[in-house]
Amino acid sequence: MSQASTVDLLAELVAFDTTSHRSNLPLIAFIESYLTRHGVSSRRVLNATGDKANLYATIGPVDRSGVMLSGHTDTVPVTGQAWQFEPFQLTAEGERLYGRGTADMKGFLAAVLAAVPAMVKADLAVPIHLAFSHDEEVGCLGVRSLIADLARYPQQPVACVVGEPTSMRLATAHKGKLAVRLHVRGKACHSGMAPEGVNAIHAAARLVAWVEDKATEKARLGPFDERFAIPHTTLQVGTIQGGAALNIVPQDCQLDLEIRNVPEDDPEALLEELMALAAKLTSEMRKTHADADIHMERLSDYPGLSMADDDALVGFILALLDDRTRERIGYGTEGGLFQHELGIPTLVCGPGSMAQGHQPDEFVTRDQLARCDAFLARLITALESAEARQCLTTGSLLVG
pLDDT in tens, 308-330: 988 889 999 999 999 998 988 98
The pLDDT of 377-383, averaged and rounded, is: 96
Whether 74 is a known active-site residue: answer yes
Active-site residue, selected from the candidate residues 32, 104, 136, 164? 136
- pLDDT in the model for residue 263: 85
pLDDT in tens, 171-208: 999 999 999 999 999 999 999 999 999 999 999 999 99
Whether 273 is a known active-site residue: answer no
Domain ranges of the chain: 6-174+304-392, 176-302
Contacts of residue 229, Cβ cutoff 8 Å, sequence gap at least 6: 328, 330
C-alpha 143/C-alpha 397 separation (Å) is: 24
> How does residue 130 score in pLDDT terms, banded at 50, 70 and 90?
very high
Going by C-alpha positions, the residue among 207, 218, 280 that lies closest to residue 240 is: 207
pLDDT surpassing 70 at residue 391: no
Burial (CB count within 10 angstroms: exposed 0-12, middle 13-18, buried 19+), residue 158: buried
The answer for 205, left when phi > 0, alpha when psi is -120 to 50, beta otherwise, is alpha
Q: Residue 308 carries which DSSP code?
A: -
Phi, psi at residue 262, to the nearest 5°? Answer: -70, 155
- Pick among 1.10.10.10, 3.40.50.2000, 3.40.50.300, 3.30.70.360: CATH of 176-302: 3.30.70.360
Active-site residue, selected from the candidate residues 74, 137, 361, 373? 74
Q: E strands of 303-397, at which residues?
A: 305-306, 326-329, 346-348, 363-365
The overall average pLDDT reported for the chain is 94
The answer for 147, left when phi > 0, alpha when psi is -120 to 50, beta otherwise, is alpha
> How does residue 397 score in pLDDT terms, banded at 50, 70 and 90?
low
Percent of the chain whose pLDDT exceeds 70: 96
Asked whether 72 and 134 are in contact (CB, 8 A), the reply is yes
- pLDDT in the model for residue 400: 40
DSSP per-residue string spanning 137-190: TTTS-THHHHHHHHTTSS---SEEEE---BTT-EEEEE-EEEEEEEEEE-B--B
C-alpha 326/C-alpha 316 separation (Å) is: 13
- pLDDT in the model for residue 3: 73
pLDDT in tens, 43-52: 999 999 999 9
- Pick among 3.40.630.10, 1.10.3720.10, 3.40.50.2300, 2.30.30.100: CATH of 6-174+304-392: 3.40.630.10
